Amino acid sequence: MREDAIAELRRGGRERAALRPAGPPVPVEDGTVDGVGIRRYEQRGPDTVVFAHGGGFVLGDLETHDAFARRIAEATGRTVVAVDYRRAPEHPFPAAFDDVLTVLDAVLKTRPDGRVALAGDSAGGFLAILAALARRGRVDGQLLVCPVAEVALPATSRSVAEKGAGFGLDGAQLREWIGWWAPGAAPDPLSEDLTGLPPALVVTCEHDPLRDGGDQYARRLREAGVPVVHRTEPGLEHNFAQSVHQSPACAEADARWLRDAAGILR
């Protein structure tokens, strides 16, 4: 895919986001942390959620996920720090992960009396998982929506085989983008020791090629003794949180996710 085509896809994503209803009126400030762009959604108290947006490691930005970040801040009562991480193909792995970790470390340092959780949807969910592994014992929650947990997207996965075409998220396209993002080998969270990770909220969707990977991650967490709230939303496609304005079912699923996120972080 040519650079101008990628730029057009990104522009289209921002334009679609501009047509969605705005999120809750949370105080917002843009800035940088050690050279990494961020958007801070301020709430009272020292507790924080570091958020990584989705977009297949290629698309997505602070604008496309602004309303969702606002909802997380309102629901949890925590300040949300959204990371404007570098994307593929211009910046392959580990650039995006390094950016998330840079922001997470800064938050951990500047708010030593507060609790810090990680959140992410889709590709951002994968980055949140990697950050939780890298800073095991220092974060208090993982809030995941339709996460990329099995980055290889194996053809042996039933959800990849059955839901990879015709259900919103194109599995072949995502596999290509993951190849741009991690032309070498990316870490595999499903092969890691998950003992000691923080409580997790993992919500997948019935008609999502990423479903089985997310379900497997939730199962592996439970086997490691990690508290998990996990469900597969019936009848929904990938990343319902971006479609709350179009679908009552997506809005209801989003509300459930936000309630559970608040519960885990109490």
Going by C-beta distance under 8 Å and a sequence separation of 6 or more, which residues neighbour residue 46? 111, 113, 114, 115
Determine whether 157 is an active site residue. no
Consecutive H or E run containing 95: helix 95-110
The answer to whether 98 and 91 are in contact (CB under 8 A) is: no
| Dist. CA 211–CA 191, nearest whole Å | 17
The answer to whether 227 and 200 are in contact (CB under 8 A) is: yes
| Dist. CA 145–CA 125, nearest whole Å | 7
Pairing of strands 142-145, 200-207: parallel
Closest CA to 76 of 45, 101, 52, 53: 45
Place of tokens 């390094």: 98
Going by C-beta distance under 8 Å and a sequence separation of 6 or more, which residues neighbour residue 195? 224, 225, 226
Q: Which residues are catalytic?
A: 122
